[in-house]
Structures are given as structure tokens and as C-alpha cells.
């Protein structure tokens, strides 16, 4: 019996390179492509940058915007060079500035004066415009300020001599002031009645803040229109070692600060409660008058003069 012998060793199967098609060993048609080439990172990079810029633009427009602190007027709460995040969402739902909040607002008119224009090349200007559009840099055209709201529309504010500042007759305990400053600074004011839809603002560094006190000769008597407010500063985001929130100080929550509103509320409630009582009493009077008219004599109804009967007193017999 003859035994067959192997004439050679098994050869390894040849595999097609990535992206090449292979033919079925049984003579079938070409198979599927094995493997796909990865898209180049450099081709995807512009798409990623575009998406990032779009998201930044949406966040800046509707949620939060970063602002840089350019001066010392809010020390020690804020330092020059700090970056704060400003809430731009709640104003879309009708929220307005409240006492004690730190707000960013546009220059209401001649507060900053004429700002010198900084010269830069076309490339630097283009880069700055793009970054400011998405909120990563302040715009060269925007003239924004940051101060603390002391009074809102309807409030009466004043500060005499060295203070304290009073709102609706209530003294503020301003523990957030720059050490060594007095509440009035070197500019006393008031009493000033704040018009509706406007706010009275002051810096925490009273000796170094050109705020509402110094613009009483302008329209609005130093107040700022609510429409010019960009939003409330809620967080110090940069530098990281200064990260902190910006809450409303407790002194703005003291009882009686809303004296004007509190005095008007009982009057309004009293009026609302008196209306039903007046209507009820009027209905009772009308019903009584109608009942009395139904029980009158025919002579009175016909218009005849009523007959008066006079009884003669009896004489003693």
C-alpha cells in the first residue's frame, strides 16, 4: 500500500491590505472591503472648532457671559483682572435687578467719557472680534460697568456726612465695603426717589468709584435704566484661587426695607375686602326700599294726599 507524502509545508494565507477587495477562494464574486481608512484629524479639526464656537455663541447669548474687571471700584469684593460670569438667562424670563446684586450694565451715557481707541493690526482686530463675538474677550466697542445695586424703582435712597446709606429710611450695614471707606465716601446724596424701571448703583470701594453719586446732573439723576443691565454677576471664575460666588448681603434682607411696598399692600387688601361689603349693603338697602314700596297705602300710590286723623282728647267728666 502506497502512502502519499506531503510535498511541502502549508503556506500562510495571504490577506489583502486594508481597503483592498479579496476574491472568494471558491471562485465567488469579490467580497466586501476589509477595513476603512480613518478620517484625517486635520480634516475634522475645522468642524470641531466650528461646533465649539457655535456652542460658545449660544452660551454667551442665552446663558452666561464672561467679563473682565477693569478697575478697582469694586474692591475688595472684586479685584482688577478678575473674570466674572454674568447670568443672562433669567432676564429673558422677566427678572429684574434686585437690591444687593452685583450687576454689569452698559454705560447709560457719558459715565465713562471718551475712551481712547487702541490701535491694532487687521489680523489682531479680526481675532479680537471673533473672540468677543463668542464671549471669550470683551468687545472693543462695548462700554460696560460693574457695580452693586443699592436701590430699585420706588425706593428712596440717601447718605449724609459719613453715613450710613439709607434705603426707605432703613440703614444698611455694609460689611462688604473696602477697608477704611465710609458709606458715603466723599460724596453725600439724597434723599433721592428712584424712578420706576431704574436702579441706583454704587461701587464697594466708595472712595474710588464714579457711580450714581457722581452723575446726578445727568438724565435720570444718576440712576441707570433697567434696560441697560446686561445681567447679574454670579461667580468669580478666574483666577482659580479667587473662585467664589457673589451672594446678596444679608443687610438687604432686613425687615422693613420694603416699607413702601409693605404699606401699600394692606391698603390694597383693605380696599379689595371693602368692595364686597359695600355691594352687599347696597343690595340690602335696595331690597328694603322695594319691600317698603310694596306695603304703602293706595292713596300714596295714587298720588293723593294722605289724610291725617287728629284725635281730640277726652274731657274729664
Least confident of 83-87, 116-120, 193-197: 116-120
- Judged on CB neighbours under 10 Å (0-12, 13-18, 19+), 189 is buried
Report, as an integer, the average pLDDT of 266-294. 61
C-alpha cell at position 256? 422693613
CA distance 63 to 83: 16
Buried b (16+ CB within 10 A) or exposed e, 290-309: eeeeeeeeeeeeeeeeeeee
Three-class SS of residue 26? Answer: coil
Report, as an integer, the average pLDDT of 240-258. 93
pTM: 0.63
pLDDT digits (tens, 9 = 90+) for 18-36: 445 545 555 544 444 444 5
Q: How much of the chain, in percent, has pLDDT values that exceed 90?
A: 44
Give residues with Cβ within 8 angstroms of 131, minimum separation 6. 137
Give residues with Cβ within 8 angstroms of 77, minimum separation 6. 102, 148, 176, 204, 246
Active site members: 73, 147
* Counts of helices then strands in the chain (DSSP H, E): 4, 12
- Judged on CB neighbours under 10 Å (0-12, 13-18, 19+), 83 is middle
Closest CA to 143 of 201, 25, 228: 228
Query: Where are the chain's structural domains?
Result: 64-111+129-258
Reading phi first (left if > 0) and then psi (alpha if -120 to 50, else beta), residue 142 is in beta
pLDDT digits (tens, 9 = 90+) for 113-128: 754 454 556 766 566 5
- Note whether 88 and 64 are within 8 A (CB): yes
Q: What is the pLDDT of residue 127?
A: 62
pLDDT digits (tens, 9 = 90+) for 289-302: 666 555 544 443 34
pLDDT digits (tens, 9 = 90+) for 148-167: 999 999 999 999 998 999 99
Give residues with Cβ within 8 angstroms of 6, minimum separation 6. none
Q: Which CATH architecture describes the domain 64-111+129-258?
A: Ribbon (2.10)
Give residues with Cβ within 8 angstroms of 85, minimum separation 6. 64, 65, 66, 233, 234, 235, 237
- Note whether 299 and 290 are within 8 A (CB): no
- 195 C-beta neighbours (distance < 10 Å), count: 13
Q: How much of the chain, in percent, has pLDDT values that exceed 70?
A: 60
Amino acid at each position: 500500500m502506497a502512502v502519499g507524502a506531503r510535498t511541502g509545508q502549508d503556506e500562510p494565507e495571504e490577506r489583502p491590505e486594508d481597503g483592498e477587495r479579496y476574491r472568494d477562494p471558491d471562485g465567488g464574486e469579490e467580497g466586501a472591503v476589509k477595513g476603512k481608512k480613518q478620517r484625517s484629524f486635520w480634516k475634522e479639526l475645522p468642524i470641531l472648532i466650528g461646533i465649539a464656537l457655535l456652542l460658545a455663541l449660544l452660551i454667551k447669548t442665552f446663558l452666561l457671559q464672561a467679563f473682565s474687571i477693569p478697575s478697582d471700584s469694586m474692591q475688595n469684593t472684586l479685584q482688577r483682572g478678575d473674570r466674572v460670569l454674568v447670568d443672562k438667562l433669567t432676564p429673558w424670563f422677566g427678572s429684574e435687578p434686585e437690591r444687593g446684586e452685583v450687576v454689569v450694565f452698559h454705560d447709560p451715557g457719558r459715565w465713562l467719557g471718551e475712551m481712547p481707541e487702541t490701535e491694532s493690526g487687521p489680523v489682531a482686530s479680526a481675532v479680537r472680534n471673533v473672540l468677543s463675538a463668542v464671549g471669550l474677550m470683551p468687545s472693543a466697542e462695548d462700554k460696560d460697568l460693574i457695580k452693586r445695586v443699592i436701590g430699585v424703582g420706588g425706593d428712596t435712597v440717601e447718605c449724609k456726612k459719613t453715613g450710613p446709606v439709607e434705603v426707605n429710611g432703613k440703614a444698611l450695614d455694609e460689611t462688604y465695603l473696602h477697608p477704611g471707606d465710609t458709606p458715603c465716601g466723599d460724596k453725600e446724596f439724597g434723599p433721592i426717589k428712584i424712578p420706576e424701571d431704574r436702579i441706583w448703583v454704587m461701587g464697594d470701594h466708595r472712595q474710588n468709584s464714579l457711580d450714581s453719586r457722581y452723575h446726578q446732573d445727568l438724565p435720570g439723576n444718576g440712576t441707570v435704566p433697567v434696560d441697560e443691565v446686561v445681567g447679574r454677576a454670579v461667580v468669580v471664575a478666574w483666577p482659580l484661587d479667587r473662585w467664589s460666588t457673589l451672594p446678596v448681603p444679608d443687610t438687604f434682607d432686613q425687615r422693613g426695607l420694603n416699607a413702601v411696598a409693605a404699606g401699600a399692600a394692606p391698603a390694597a387688601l383693605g380696599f379689595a375686602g371693602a368692595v364686597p361689603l359695600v355691594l352687599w349693603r347696597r343690595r340690602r338697602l335696595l331690597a328694603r326700599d322695594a319691600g317698603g314700596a310694596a306695603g304703602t297705602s293706595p292713596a300714596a300710590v295714587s298720588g293723593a294726599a294722605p289724610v291725617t286723623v287728629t284725635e281730640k282728647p277726652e274731657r274729664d267728666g
